[in-house]
Structure 1
Amino acid sequence: MGELVEYLIQNDPSFRRARLPALYSDFRTQKSLNPDGYTANVTAWRSALARLAWNGQISDISTAASPSSPSSSQRLVLDCDAKLPARLESRQFGRPLALGTVIRDSLDNGALFPLQDFLGRQESIYHTSGGWSSVPWRAAVWAARQLGLGAPSATREDTIPKGRFVVLANVEKAAASVAEAIAARRSDSRFERTFTRRDFVRELLVDNHSVPPLSGTDMDVLLRFLEREKGLVAGDERTVRIRGGADASEEPTITTEDEAVAELRALMADLRHQTALLGSRVDELTAEAKAAVAAGRGSSHATALALLRRKRVAEDALKRRGAALAQLEDVAGKLEQARDQAQMVRVMESSAGALATLNREVGGVARVEGAVEALREQVAETDEVARILEEDAAASGAEAVDEAEVDAELRAMELAEQEREAEEMQKRLDEAGIVPSETVAARKEEEKEEKEKEAQKNRPLTPTTEAAERLMEMVLGETP
């Protein structure tokens, strides 16, 4: 005894040598006196049991083919009986005195589950709090405690609950690794996602080095968890199908088609393996025959003939295996084609139904024509209203403009500009010190004459004024 304790000391940080006295003591009374210490001890033992099971250090000897062989150990299921404390015994501190309390606390908190309850449960284990997973189990535990068989008091010996319990931490670890492997090889082809149970284990577990070898019971537990809690697979005793393809109508359970596909894929895999072996055997026999011929001794001829005969037999077997494999591959192609056609027909049926619904909502050709005609009328009416409003706006704008006011404003702007230019000129002359009085007087005289002419133009013409203007022009014209 003591090997498992030494293993835990070397591999589990919670099992330091300084903590062993507390872990192996009867710490049941600490639940009320020192809750933190009690929780720390229970958590340490819970982790230790999960670690021992995962690494194949503890398993049911009665069911294991070889207790010392890790491959025959259960990794996800813990077998609890009266022998368990003895197997965890320490040379210095003896047997753990509160191990039964640890197991019962793990059951209450959902860290452990009764095996049969785990496999037979329909709803997720995460839907209810704690490890009370079914009414019969809860009732049995309650009755046992009422009779004094449940959680012992601090004055009685701590008994070990007997049974087979699923270690949830280990199941979650294995499921996470398998989920990664499934994601890495995800395919929309249902044919590629269907396996026999043996092939599923070989392709997603044996080749997955992060998961140790699992027993048959472990596989039952893992597949049930992947199916119920993760929704990643559908499976039964012989067939496993990875879920999540593009076909939304894919059945949630294994069908006869899945079983046929799984067997077909398994047979094809076996034939490929056989053809590979036979091909290697033919190459080996050919090389041996050539070596016998090259030796050139008396028995070499007979040896070469025997090797060539065996080579021919291997070649015939290889040819037959190759023909069978080709036939199976053709059948597999037909199966995939038939499934694609069936899916296409389902899509066409659903599309036809959707189109019929939409056509009913449209109301037929007459309703569409009426809607289009009504739309055209409304568009034409809208355009007519816009045209009338534009014409009215244009007419209103023309009436509002007074041309006389516009001309007066323009003349005022021109006079202002002339005055500004005169002021600038006067300013420049003042700066130069020149006062051209004659020039200024002449300019003023010219401006006066221009104003008088402008006034005369604007005055209404009468016969008298018209005759006077003509006489004036004649006089001016005769003046030299």
Structure 2
Amino acid sequence: MSPIASNDKNLQQELIDQIITQNPLFSKSRLVSLYSNFGKLQQLNPEGYQANISAWTSLLHDICSNNGIGDSNISLTTHNSSLAHSLAVFPYGEPKSLDLVLDELVSNNKMVPYSLYIAHKGSYLKVINPSAILDLFSPANWVRYGLRSIGIGNYKIVDSSGTLIDERYVSWELLTKLAEKLYNYVRKEITKAGSSVTSKLFGFLSLYEFLRSKDDSLTELDLSIVLLYWSRDTEKCQTRQEINETYIKFDKEPITDSEVEIVNVKSAILNLKKRNTSLESKIEEIETTMKSVLTIKSKSEQKDRLRYLLGLKNVFTKSLNSSYSSYSELSSILLKIEDSHLNSEIYAQLVSSSKLLKDLNSKIEISDIDDVKLAIEEEMTKTDEISSSLEQAHIEDSEIEEELEKLHKEESETNEEDSLLNKLENLKINNDSTQNIDSDSTPRIDEQETSSNQVELMAT
């Protein structure tokens, strides 16, 4: 084993040890029971047995979700390095009932054997939840259900010697959660691109790189499992396997040959983009190295070194320019493909709309329209006549006399009110005049009194 591989194994073991230590169900007081052969508790102490199964279920779930095995966040494996050995705790050693734990998890569909999952025909949802999909009227389904219920043909966790078989076990809960999260990333990306034909198409590596940009903990193994779940179990996408590529289409329709070519163009563009980045990085390194030439004391050595670096830079620059050109050309082609597909959709919509209009118009005749309009006008005229006739309904003479008498009475009352108001106004005017006269006569009386008083004084 190489030093790097050995170091990775040590880091994984440290991570598993840490997960065991931090799990509250694996307290020191519980380790004796958890690492013992507790199969006998299933009969003697069912609650204790179930408590141990639940604790191990929690631990294995944590190991999966924290990438404790190293190549997956949704599964764990019993091969490569022994799973039992990785779970060993001093001084109890390896768990003695790991086979019972895995058997319970598989029986309850919490863990799915990878070999069975990839080999299954049809949606695996029927295995996970058979009662929800079971056809009660199908004898074949009843036979299969009966066989499962009595344990015939069940999956075996151990071989004939009692040793765990080499297998990978996928956590169904973690698989479904990861699949839903990743699908949301893809769906949003397709929507952002306007649901164009190219946005729905991926190669495996291009899809992996896109999803890794959203979730850097994603592994290729996990994506391959999720992809099977999408395409077979939930039918969220279509796949097509070729020699060197897996083609993926997020649609209900199968992948066509033209769509395979679109994926190839997208893959070529992605590869050119990587190449451009690599060449740019190399040119930058050469330019940095060129600056160090000045530290060389010999003038001739400086020139020789600089000549070599310039030649190397010219080679990479020429290659980069060629790569830029190819990248631009393929990007233009991909854009034209999208334009062409859009034109095709618009044309198909125009043809469909034309047929629809033709079908609707075929149900209407011009002469029928004239007849309908004439009928409408006749009915409108008739309506007006009826309304006019209703407005001129017969009024009784007694009603007219009564109305006239009412009008005369109102007129008489109005005249009386006006006459009374005039009288009041005249009265006010007369009062005002009288007051003015009285005011003018008052000084004369005073003068007479004064004169009389003067005469009396003189006589005296």
Q: Which residue matches 2:219?
A: 213
Deviation at 1:274, TM superposition (A): 2.3
Query: What one-letter code is carried by the residue in structure 2 that aligns with 1:197?
Result: F
Q: Which residue matches 1:88?
A: 87
Aligned length: 391
Q: Which residue matches 1:202?
A: 209
Query: What one-letter code is carried by the residue in structure 1 that aligns with 2:388?
Result: R
* Counterpart Cα distance in 2 of 1:167 and 1:47: 11
Deviation at 1:398, TM superposition (A): 6.6
Q: Is the 8 A contact 1:108 1:130 kept in 2?
A: no
Deviation at 1:204, TM superposition (A): 0.6
Structure 1 residue 182 corresponds to structure 2 residue 158: no
Give the direction of change, closer, same or farther, for the CA distance of 1:126–1:251 in structure 2 (3 Å limit): closer
* Counterpart Cα distance in 2 of 1:199 and 1:382: 73
Give the direction of change, closer, same or farther, for the CA distance of 1:242–1:57 in structure 2 (3 Å limit): same
- Deviation per residue, 1:66-101 (Å, 9 max, x gap): xxxx2xx34434445895545434434454444333
Give the direction of change, closer, same or farther, for the CA distance of 1:365–1:128 in structure 2 (3 Å limit): farther
* Counterpart Cα distance in 2 of 1:148 and 1:199: 39
Structure 1 residue 123 corresponds to structure 2 residue 127: no
Query: What one-letter code is carried by the residue in structure 2 that aligns with 1:171?
Result: L
- Deviation per residue, 1:166-196 (Å, 9 max, x gap): 2212212322432343245332223234222
Q: Is the 8 A contact 1:27 1:38 kept in 2?
A: yes
Give the direction of change, closer, same or farther, for the CA distance of 1:121–1:412 in structure 2 (3 Å limit): same
Give the direction of change, closer, same or farther, for the CA distance of 1:139–1:240 in structure 2 (3 Å limit): farther
* Counterpart Cα distance in 1 of 2:355 and 2:201: 31
Q: Which residue matches 1:18?
A: 29
Q: Which residue matches 1:306?
A: 308
Give the direction of change, closer, same or farther, for the CA distance of 1:46–1:351 in structure 2 (3 Å limit): farther
SS in 2 for 1:299: helix
> 1:281-430 residue pairs with structure 2 within 5 A?
281-285=282-286, 292=293, 297-360=299-362, 362-392=363-393, 396-397=394-395, 399=397, 401-403=399-401, 406-407=404-405, 410-411=408-409
Return the match for 1:76 from 65, 74, 77: 74
Q: Is the 8 A contact 1:181 1:208 kept in 2?
A: no
Give the direction of change, closer, same or farther, for the CA distance of 1:367–1:118 in structure 2 (3 Å limit): farther
Q: Is the 8 A contact 1:239 1:258 kept in 2?
A: no
Give the direction of change, closer, same or farther, for the CA distance of 1:397–1:28 in structure 2 (3 Å limit): farther
- Deviation per residue, 1:282-338 (Å, 9 max, x gap): 455456557647978233233333333323322322222222222212221221122
Q: Is the 8 A contact 1:271 1:321 kept in 2?
A: yes
Query: What one-letter code is carried by the residue in structure 2 that aligns with 1:403?
Result: E
Structure 1 residue 110 corresponds to structure 2 residue 112: no
Q: Which residue matches 1:432?
A: none
TM-score normalised to the size of structure 1? 0.66
Return the match for 2:54 from 43, 56, 66: 43
Structure 1 residue runs without a partner (length 5+) = 59-69, 244-249, 426-480
Q: Is the 8 A contact 1:9 1:17 kept in 2?
A: no
SS in 2 for 1:264: helix
Deviation at 1:54, TM superposition (A): 3.4
Q: Higher helix share goes to which structure?
A: 2
Structure 2 residue runs without a partner (length 5+) = 1-9, 135-140, 424-460
* Counterpart Cα distance in 2 of 1:334 and 1:415: 94
Query: What one-letter code is carried by the residue in structure 2 that aligns with 1:401?
Result: E
Moved more, 106-115 or 277-286: 277-286
- Deviation per residue, 1:27-58 (Å, 9 max, x gap): 54655666554443322222222322333434
Deviation at 1:107, TM superposition (A): 2.3
* Counterpart Cα distance in 1 of 2:332 and 2:410: 103
Give the direction of change, closer, same or farther, for the CA distance of 1:162–1:208 in structure 2 (3 Å limit): closer
Q: Is the 8 A contact 1:236 1:254 kept in 2?
A: yes
Q: Which residue matches 2:273?
A: 272
Query: What one-letter code is carried by the residue in structure 2 that aligns with 1:265?
Result: K
> 1:111-260 residue pairs with structure 2 within 5 A?
111-119=110-118, 120-123=120-123, 125=125, 129=129, 145=151, 163-186=167-190, 187=193, 188-205=195-212, 208-209=215-216, 211-215=217-221, 218-237=222-241, 238-241=245-248, 243=250, 251-260=252-261
TM-score normalised to the size of structure 2? 0.69
